[in-house]
């Protein structure tokens, strides 16, 4: 007889797997109920979807009106002149 016999451990693991309810007990309940998808799109079976997000401050709303065009900025400093090219034949 040896000091370590693997069959009691194997029997214990088989019984543990057999007696545990794998599918029902190990499910993690979700706080977010519904189908994944595009926000604001209709839900499954005719349920209304979640409202769309405008992405600015977390409030749900339509995009605002376009603002007026701003004034033209000051022109920058002229750059250095480029190299002079070859002169053509007349």
- The model carries a pTM of 0.23
pLDDT digits (tens, 9 = 90+) for 14-57: 888 777 766 655 566 655 555 555 665 555 555 555 555 545 55
Which DSSP category does 75 fall into? P
Rounded Cα distance, 38 and 53, in Å: 10
Q: How confident is the model at residue 84 (pLDDT cuts 50, 70, 90)?
A: confident
């Amino acid at each position: 007889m040896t000091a370590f016999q693997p069959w009691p451990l194997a029997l214990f693991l088989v019984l543990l797997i057999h007696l545990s309810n794998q599918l029902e007990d190990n499910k993690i309940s979700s706080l977010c109920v519904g189908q994944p998808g595009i926000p604001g799109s209709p839900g499954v079976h005719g349920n209304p979807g979640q409202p769309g997000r405008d992405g600015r401050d977390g409030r749900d709303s339509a995009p605002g009106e376009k603002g007026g065009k701003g004034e033209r900025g000051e022109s920058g400093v002229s750059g250095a002149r480029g190299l002079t090219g070859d002169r053509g034949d007349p």
